[in-house]
Amino acid sequence: MTTEDSPVWLPVFVTEFVVISIINAITIAAFARIRHLRKHSTYLVINLTVADLLVGAVAGPLLVFHKHEESDGVTLPRLILLAIGTNFLIASQVNLSLISLERLHATLFPFRHCLIRKWLYFKIIVGSWLVSFLIAIVLHILPRGALPYVWASFSTVTLLVLAVCYIIIIVNVQRSHRSEHHGLIHTERKLSVTLLMVTGVSVLTILPLAVYKSIPIDPQKKSSNTSGVDMDVVLFVIYLASCIVNPLVYAIRMQGFRKAIRNLACKSTEPTRVNHLQPHTMP
């Protein structure tokens, strides 16, 4: 993002960051309010929501500020800030991969999957954040010209893991379509379909930026100059859209999640109704 583009794109980014933060904060509140939503199969989903929230609240503003500054100097504080900001973007993609692997295991081995202990999920979540931060540091230590290609490679690997896992899941579900479709197996399969939709949206938003970053820098600049639009900025806006769409998919597909949202909305209106009644009850 160049300095000239900032006045045009800054309101777009600010709006997107605010929407991401609000919608994911509501999602986390819904998961926190309804106990039965906080189960083994949704731990990674909740972790993904936290990562998406931090993308809107921390990562996006840090990265936009860095681009706006256009400073070539690399200091330790700047490196740490960039690593923190990039960490949340990477964590979001890492969590998508972990969710697809977890869903694959749940689909292929549903009964064995139920025996997985809670502590294993917590170890996986902590490990995912450590790996994400390590990757973020490595990305910013590398020469500046190599960063887009490494980022594109990382995104490609993430998308490949997602594609392979869900292709296997779809094939397995189709083969067992006429088998028993109630109880635990049906619940796990429905959640797998929901997360498949989340992953599909994520692929559609991540892939364009990954492909663009894999193109040599000179053709990128030529394309932006020809069209008069900074494609890097446009694709980054699309990339961030996945953090908005994911909670909407949960709301459409998960009945318990919709109930939690309704309860939160009703609770937020209760003080207003009480305030309207107070004047009539006073002597």
SS (H, E, C) 229-253: CCHHHHHHHHHHHHHHHHHHHHHHH
The predicted pLDDT at position 280 comes to 41
164: how many CB neighbours lie within 10 A of its CB?
13
- Cβ neighbors of 21 (< 8 A, separation 6 or more) are 53, 56, 57
Domains detected in the chain: 6-281 (1.20.1070.10)
The predicted pLDDT at position 281 comes to 40
- Cβ neighbors of 154 (< 8 A, separation 6 or more) are 90, 93, 135
Mean pLDDT, rounded, for 167-181 = 68
Per the CB < 8 A criterion, the answer to whether 260 and 231 are in contact is no
List, for residues 126-146, the tens digit of each pLDDT value: 999 999 989 888 887 888 777
The predicted pLDDT at position 69 comes to 60
pTM to 2 decimal places = 0.79
pLDDT reading at 1 higher than 90: no
pLDDT reading at 89 higher than 50: yes
The predicted pLDDT at position 63 comes to 74
